[in-house]
Amino acid sequence: MIVDQLAFEDLVRTHRGELHVHCYRMLGSVLDAEDLVQETFLRGWRSRATFQAQASERTWLYRIATNACLSALARRPRRLLPEDLGETPPEVAWLEPYPDRLLNDLADTAPGPEAVYEQREATELAFVAALQHLSPRQRAVLLMRDVVGLDVAEVAAQLESSREAVSSAHQRARATLRQHLERTPSRNLNAAKRDLLERYVVAWESADLDAFVDMLANDVVLSMPPMPEWFAGRAAVRGFFAWAWGPAGPGPFRLLETRANAQPAFGLYGRAPDGDGYASQAIQVLTLEGGRIARLHGFVRPDLFALFGLPARL
């Protein structure tokens, strides 16, 4: 039984980072994850007298966090990227990027023996987007089994379910995930990829359309949530940027490098409306493949810049 406030505060410090990213994977929103982590620790403090020593404190907290997320998901639509929608519904919740600076704060907690994904790998944008195609319960089972590394019996206890039901949900979740994980982002920034990113910044800031398009994969995808429109292929993306970087577009632009979802990312700034410098516009997350840019997601969310440690204006 946990009764000492200082001991509980130490527990919070130890596990807050990994619970935060777990809630992000469940919900697809870094802001919602913050709320649910707070809810997790509030529920944990209130129910500390019921803690059973048969389970670890970490597993106990994951149980609380997962069930808090499942309750939240019952009231909220799943979060998607524009290219995941055949037709845009009247109201849609968009996936949000996750700052790598929060991943850097994760405690060095080894996952259980059942884990098949590393923490950073399981935070890549394609992986989190694919998770949103699972039902909330399948999402919980897959994360608890393949990322946290709990065994079937532990997950069944977490979700108050049978081993058979957990195994079946896990099998279906893995099959669905494979259908949506067509691409795997590049993880290591070698010299060639670093050069690509440097040329990317120069192209953006000089509005060099030819140089920019030359960096794109033939089947590149561009999306800019919350705008529902998205563009596929070099020709379509070139057409959009011919406007965006032209006289009628919102440029000129400046970029600040960051990291999101264990991938290269930038804070995009456009000329401020008052003419005084540049104002925050979007968090760009890039997927690199074969020396080219395969995916460019520009999350038009100036409110997220502070989470990335980026200034609101340049």
Contact 179, 154 (CB under 8 A): no
| Three-state secondary-structure class, residue 158 | helix
Query: Regarding predicted confidence, which is higher, 112 or 77?
Result: 77
Q: Tell me which residue of 45, 19, 52 sits closest to 144, measured CA to CA.
A: 19
How many Cβ atoms are within 10 Å of 72's Cβ, its own excluded? 18
Residue-wise pLDDT tens digits, 171-217: 999 999 988 886 555 556 678 888 999 999 999 999 999 999 999 99
Eight-state DSSP code of residue 225: T
Q: What angle do CA 264, 266, 272 make, to 5 degrees?
A: 175
**Rounded distance, CA 142 to CA 177, Å?**
9
Portion of the chain with pLDDT greater than 90, in percent: 61
Q: What is the pLDDT at residue 52?
A: 62
Contact 24, 98 (CB under 8 A): yes
The number of CA neighbours under 13 Å toward the Cβ of 302 is: 11
Residue-wise pLDDT tens digits, 113-157: 777 788 888 999 999 999 999 999 999 999 999 999 899 999 999
Position 7 pLDDT exceeds 80: no
DSSP string, 257-296: EEEETTEEEEEEEEE-TTSSSEEEEEEEEEEEETTEEEEE
**Rounded distance, CA 160 to CA 173, Å?**
18
Q: Give the confidence band of 90 by pLDDT, cuts at 50, 70, 90.
A: low
Find all residues with CB under 8 Å of 50, minimum gap 6, and list them.
Answer: none
Q: Tell me which residue of 90, 82, 110 sits closest to 232, measured CA to CA.
A: 82
**Rounded distance, CA 286 to CA 304, Å?**
17
Residue-wise pLDDT tens digits, 52-61: 665 688 888 8
Q: Which CATH number fits domain 5-180: 3.10.180.10, 1.10.3720.10, 1.20.140.160, 3.10.50.40?
A: 1.20.140.160
Position 97 pLDDT exceeds 70: yes
Chain region(s) in the chain for CATH 3.10.450.50: 191-308
| Three-state secondary-structure class, residue 74 | coil
Query: Regarding predicted confidence, which is higher, 286 or 6?
Result: 286
Chain region(s) in the chain for CATH 1.20.140.160: 5-180
| Most confident by average pLDDT, 9-23, 247-261, 283-297 | 283-297
Q: What is the pLDDT at residue 54?
A: 57
Architecture of domain 191-308: Roll (3.10)
Contact 304, 283 (CB under 8 A): yes
The phi and psi torsions of 27 (rounded to 5 degrees) equal: -100, -25
Position 69 pLDDT exceeds 80: yes
Strand partners, 99: 260
**Rounded distance, CA 301 to CA 117, Å?**
29
